[in-house]
Amino acid sequence: MYHYVREYNATLPYFRYLDINNFRKQLDFFEAEYGYISFEEWCDFIYNGLMPKKPGKVLLTFDDAMRCHYDYVFPELIKRGLWGIFYVPTAPYSDSTILDVHRIHLLCGSFSGTKLLKIAYSFITEKMIPDQMIEEFRNLTYTRQQNTEGVSEFKRLMNYFLDYKYRSTIIDQIIDHLNFSFNSDIFYIPYKNLFEMKRNGMIIGSHSHSHPVMSKLSIQSQQDEIEKSFLILGDLIDLEHKSYCHPYGGFHSFNKTTTETLEKHNVFYSFNVEGREINQSDFIHSKHYLPRFDCNLFPFGKSS
Ligand SMILES: [Zn+2]
């Protein structure tokens, strides 16, 4: 599983990403150590439950449709005769917005965690924290006076403590306060380029519509997220190869409603994040939460 793969950008001094040169080194490492699964071998598993003869082969996936996947990853895969699966959240395409999860990344890439935390605390009040988290929130607020504050605290506050219904507004306020601006046109892969990638052997899959923690949503909202996203992806998806990837990932990020909805929409397989290899029994038992390793668990995969 990969997210940002790019070069250093001086306008985002704190940004966390996998350097393209390390990505290349990691691809060399996978080639030498494990080899890559062919599209045919992958289909044999997905449709018939057949495992490749040689175990341990690698499948590459890329989440969030970031522009760097088109600029850096796609040409590198083409050069090497490789293919990958690209999971696309669709709200950026229908609403021309940057998702909150990515606005938080961009803020963290541009300003220090200490500064962001301080500003966030000036806008966030206790009424914006759900009741079941208020104690934990107070403890954090108290301990932050003694501890070093950083990006992880800011992310925790924004993604974990803050009620979703206030999050976009709070991010807007922080951005206004900092006089910061984003350009959604250059953040995601342009729609027409997704088609170019598909024509060249890449698989496009759904990563929900707005990238929520699905397990927090009602049955109806979960269905809307999945339905809308496949509708917007339209011809980018082959009906005989419908695939999905859980936003955020991990077993807490989705539930039975999610997997039942995927099944109902004839999605063939879905990816989760779980650090183990796919095995034979996953074809029967875990088709909607296939395990995936984060690239940072392998040599050259640490972010810069
Ligand atoms: Zn994602």
- Among 82, 75, 84, 62, CA closest to 2: 62
Q: How far apart are CA 155 and CA 161, in angstroms?
A: 9
| Å from CA of 103 to ligand 1 middle | 13
Contact 207, 231 (CB under 8 A): no
Task: Tell me: pLDDT of 147 over 90.
Answer: no
Task: Tell me: pLDDT of 146 over 60.
Answer: no
Tens digits of residue pLDDT in 26-41: 999 999 999 999 999 9
Sheet holding 203-206, edge to edge: 61-63, 85-88, 203-206, 243-245, 269-271
| Å from CA of 255 to ligand 1 middle | 17
Percent of the chain whose predicted confidence (pLDDT) is above 90 = 75
| Å from CA of 198 to ligand 1 middle | 19
| Å from CA of 52 to ligand 1 middle | 28
Residue 34 CA: distances (Å) to CA of 26, 56, 166, 172: 11, 6, 46, 45
More confident position, 30 or 101:
30
More confident position, 152 or 92:
92
Lowest mean pLDDT among 59-63, 84-88, 233-237, 300-304: 300-304
| Å from CA of 183 to ligand 1 middle | 19
Task: Tell me: pLDDT of 105 over 70.
Answer: yes
Tens digits of residue pLDDT in 252-293: 899 999 999 999 999 999 999 999 999 999 999 999 999 999
| Å from CA of 165 to ligand 1 middle | 20
Task: Tell me: pLDDT of 187 over 80.
Answer: yes
Task: Tell me: pLDDT of 145 over 50.
Answer: no
| Å from CA of 211 to ligand 1 middle | 7
* Residue 141's pLDDT band (cuts 50, 70, 90): low
Task: Tell me: pLDDT of 184 over 80.
Answer: no
Task: Tell me: pLDDT of 144 over 80.
Answer: no
Contact 101, 211 (CB under 8 A): yes
| Å from CA of 254 to ligand 1 middle | 13
Q: Residue 242 is encoded by which pair of tokens?
A: 């419908």
Tens digits of residue pLDDT in 109-130: 899 888 999 999 999 998 998 8
Tens digits of residue pLDDT in 218-255: 999 999 999 999 999 999 999 889 999 999 899 989 99
List all residues 6 or more positions away from 177 whose beta carbon is below 8 Å from its beta carbon. 119
Task: Tell me: pLDDT of 149 over 70.
Answer: no
Tens digits of residue pLDDT in 200-216: 999 999 999 999 889 88
